[in-house]
Amino acid sequence: MTTFGALGIAGSGLTVDRKWLDAVSDNLANISTARPTSQAAFEARYVVASEMPGGGVQVAGAVTSGNAAGRVVYEPGNPLADAQGNVRYPDIDMSSQMVQLIMAQRGYQANAAVVDRAKDAYEAALKIGQNL
């Protein structure tokens, strides 16, 4: 594998990890989003990655997961409450989202380290060529 190949593969990993972080942060930001019972609850979004020909990964899309019915909670004081005083919240588990967040952060850090090492190797190769 060449230095540029390592940069390309790690760069594609950085892109996927960033999209993954965006999805998890969106899920966490909407974990307490109330909606009227006449609407569907927010559903967690997950990034789907696929292998690219020649190496690397790409975002193949995003899927929603969860129950559109969410959790119906009795909150008569909520302005979105129906006649029975119920509102709909997403059925998102914060602990599983935090695990996803940590995995995405670690992947991003690992790919960033590869980019940094490949850059250092390329700079060292350029310096060797200058001394000839």
pLDDT in tens, 25-76: 999 999 999 999 999 999 999 999 999 988 899 999 999 987 889 999 999 9
Give dist(CA 15, CA 19) in Å, integer.
6
pLDDT tops 80 at residue 1: no
* Residue 3 binned pLDDT confidence (cut-offs 50, 70, 90): low
- Please tell me the pTM assigned to this model: 0.84
The count of C-alpha atoms lying within 13 angstroms of the C-alpha of 73, restricted to the half-sphere facing its C-beta, is 15
User: Hey, CA dihedral for 16, 21, 22, 24, is it positive or negative?
Assistant: positive
35-36 and 57-65 as β-strands: parallel, antiparallel, unpaired?
unpaired
Structure-token pair, residue 93: 């588990």
**Residue 92 DSSP label:** -
Structure-token pair, residue 100: 């996803």
